Amino acid sequence: MPITNFMRSVNASLLFLFSSLLLITACKDDDGFVFDPPTILSGPQQYGTPFDQVPAIEDIAMYEVNPRVFSSSQNLQGITERLENIQQLGINVVWLMPIYQTGTERSVGSPYAIRDYQAIHADYGTLDDLRALVDKAHSLGMAVMLDWVANHTAWDNEWINNPSWYAQDRNGNIIHPPGTNWQDVAELNYDNVEMREEMIKAMKYWVLEANIDGYRCDFAEGAPADFWQQAIDTLRHIPNRELILFAEAGDKDLLDVGFDLIFGWPFYGKLLNIFGGQPANGLYIAHLNEYSGLDEHKHILRWVTNHDQHAWDGTPQSFFNGNEGTLAAFVLAAYMGGVPLVYNGQEVAVPQQLPFFEGNTTSINWSLNPDIRAEYERILTLRKTHAALRRGETESYSTADIAAFTRQYNDEQLLVLVNVRDGSSSFEVPAELLNSTWVNTADGSILTLGSELELGAFQYLILQQ
C-alpha cells in the first residue's frame, strides 16, 4: 500500500474512533428503554473526493428522480445521461428514489421493500454505475441524495434471521407496520441495539462507497427520534462531509434531532384549496404556521407534486386546473419560502400518472411541451439568481384572488403576484406599493403600480425593484 493511502486510512480510523467515543452516552426513550449508541467502526474508505459545493439548505432547488420512468432504459445510466438537462433547469440537488435490491417474498413491487440495504437493484445497474452518476452530478455542481427506508424491510431481508430485530405480536410473530396495509414489509424493532448499529452502518456505506451527499428518509416518524439523532450524529462525524438530511415527516421535533428539512403538507393542502376556490390570502398564513419556531437554517419542502401524489392521486394539472394553473402554483411553492421540489416529468407536463412499482412500462416523453419546460427553467433560474427569493423576508399583500408578496434581502426586493383563478382578477394595490416602479423580470419592461392591476387567468408577475 502506498504510504499516502496508508496514512489516509490511519487518519480516517482515528477520526471515526474519536467520533464514536463522543457518541457513547446513555440514552433513554419514552418507554424507559436504556441503550448505548453503537460503537461505529471505520468501515470502507471514502471513494472519490467529498463534494465541496453542497448548497446551504435555503439555497436548495431539488429534483426527484423515479428510476422506473425517468428513461426508457429504466436504470442509473439513463439518469446519468440526462443530468445536464436537470442541471439546466436550475437544480442543485438530485434525490433518487430507492435503488436498492428489493424483496420477492409477499412483494407488491414496491421499491420501499428493501431486501439488501447495501446492494443496488439489478434492474438499475451496479455500484460503478451509481458512482458514475454521482461523479457526473458533482461535476455539474449538483449534490445527490438517496432515499432511505428505516422503518421496515422486505420479508426476505437477511435481517429476518434475527427475529429480535423486528416488532412482534404477543405470540412472537413478526408483524407488518401497525396501522398500515403494508403487508409486503416487516416492522423493525428499534429497542434492539444491534439492529440500530447495522442500520447506521448501511447508511454510512453509501456516503463512503458512492460519495453521496445525504438522504431523504422515508416515513421518518416510523422510527424513534432518538435513533435519528444517533444516526445523524454518526453521519455528520464522517470526515470532510457536508450532508443534507431531510425527513418525510411534518413533525418539527425531527429538526431538533438533526434533520435539515421536513415536508410541508399543510402548505400543499392550502395550495390545493386556494386553486379550488378558497381565498388566496390563506396561503401566507399556512406558510407562517409551518415556519413558526424554526431555526433560520431549518426549512420546509414545497411542491406541487411528488411520486406519491403523481402515482396515487393524479397529475398536478388535474389539481391545479391545467398547465397554466400548475405553473402558477409552482411559482408560489418556489418563491413564498422554503425549498422547492420538481418531480421528474413535471417540467414537461406529462399527461399520465407515473407509477413507481416494478412491472411499469411507462417512461417519460421528454420532447413534450418545450415551452413549459422553458418556463420552469426561467422560474428556477430567477430563484437561483436572486437571493431575495431564497433568503429574503416575506411580506404578504394577498387578496382573495391574488397571492401577492414581497421578498427582501439586503438591498434587493422582488414583488410576486399570482392570479390563482382561471379568469381575470383585479389587484387593488396597497398604499405601501402605490406608485412604486418595478422591472418585469420576464421581459425587462418598466411597470409603475397605480391603484389597480389586472391579471389574466393564472397570470403571474415577478417584479424587481
| 308 lies in some domain | yes
| 50 lies in some domain | yes
The C-alpha atoms of residue 174 and residue 338 are separated, in whole angstroms, by: 40
For 74-130, what is each residue's pLDDT tens digit? 999 999 999 999 999 999 999 999 999 999 999 999 999 999 999 999 999 999 999
- Please tell me whether residues 369 and 411 are part of one structural domain: no
- Please tell me whether residues 143 and 235 are part of one structural domain: yes
- Please tell me whether residues 184 and 228 are part of one structural domain: yes
373 has a pLDDT exceeding 90: yes
Nearest to 147 by CA among 330, 356, 322, 315: 356
- Please tell me whether residues 373 and 272 are part of one structural domain: yes
**Number of helices and strands (H, E) in the chain?**
15, 22
Q: How confident is the model at residue 361 (pLDDT cuts 50, 70, 90)?
A: confident
H/E element, 6 = helix 3-23
CB neighbour class for 279 (10 Å; exposed up to 12, middle 13-18, buried from 19): middle
Average pLDDT, the chain: 93
396 has a pLDDT exceeding 60: yes
Q: How confident is the model at residue 28 (pLDDT cuts 50, 70, 90)?
A: very low
Radius of gyration of the chain (CA): 23
For position 371, which CATH number holds? 3.20.20.80
For position 416, which CATH number holds? 2.60.40.1180
| 88 lies in some domain | yes
The C-alpha atoms of residue 332 and residue 272 are separated, in whole angstroms, by: 12
| 92 lies in some domain | yes
Last residue of a domain, one of 366, 392, 418: 392
- Please tell me whether residues 301 and 406 are part of one structural domain: no
| Mean local confidence (pLDDT), 395-423 | 99
The C-alpha atoms of residue 251 and residue 24 are separated, in whole angstroms, by: 26
Q: How confident is the model at residue 43 (pLDDT cuts 50, 70, 90)?
A: low
Q: How confident is the model at residue 42 (pLDDT cuts 50, 70, 90)?
A: low
| Mean local confidence (pLDDT), 233-253 | 98
The C-alpha atoms of residue 111 and residue 113 are separated, in whole angstroms, by: 6
For 285-322, what is each residue's pLDDT tens digit? 999 999 999 999 999 999 999 999 999 999 999 999 99
Q: Which structural domain, as residue segments, surrounds residue 402?
A: 396-464
| 16 lies in some domain | no
- Counting the structural domains of the chain, the total is 2
Identify the pLDDT of residue 44: 82
- Report in angstroms the alpha-carbon separations of 253 from 58, 73, 243, 300, 417: 19, 40, 19, 13, 33
- Please tell me whether residues 402 and 260 are part of one structural domain: no
DSSP 8-class letter at 38:
P
- Please tell me whether residues 218 and 331 are part of one structural domain: yes
**Partners of 302 in the β-ladder:** 340
The C-alpha atoms of residue 344 and residue 71 are separated, in whole angstroms, by: 10
- Please tell me whether residues 170 and 310 are part of one structural domain: yes
Task: Locate 232 and state its grid cell.
Answer: 445523524
Last residue of a domain, one of 392, 425, 442: 392
Question: Do the beta carbons of residue 461 and residue 423 sit within 8 Å?
Answer: no
- Please tell me whether residues 424 and 326 are part of one structural domain: no
Last residue of a domain, one of 356, 375, 392: 392
Specify the residue for cell string 401577492.
Answer: 404
Q: How confident is the model at residue 360 (pLDDT cuts 50, 70, 90)?
A: confident
User: Pairing between strand 27-28 and 34-35?
Assistant: antiparallel
- Please tell me whether residues 181 and 328 are part of one structural domain: yes
| 216 lies in some domain | yes
Q: How confident is the model at residue 238 (pLDDT cuts 50, 70, 90)?
A: very high
- Please tell me whether residues 141 and 254 are part of one structural domain: yes
30-39, 48-57, 200-209, 274-283: least confident range: 30-39
- Please tell me whether residues 307 and 402 are part of one structural domain: no
| 9 lies in some domain | no
DSSP letters, 391-404, are H-EEEE---SSEEE
Identify the pLDDT of residue 22: 41
For 130-183, what is each residue's pLDDT tens digit? 999 999 999 999 999 999 999 999 999 999 999 999 999 999 999 999 999 999
Nearest to 153 by CA among 226, 104, 213, 192: 104
The C-alpha atoms of residue 49 and residue 46 are separated, in whole angstroms, by: 8
DSSP 8-class letter at 168:
B
Identify the pLDDT of residue 436: 98
| 46 lies in some domain | yes
Identify the pLDDT of residue 35: 47
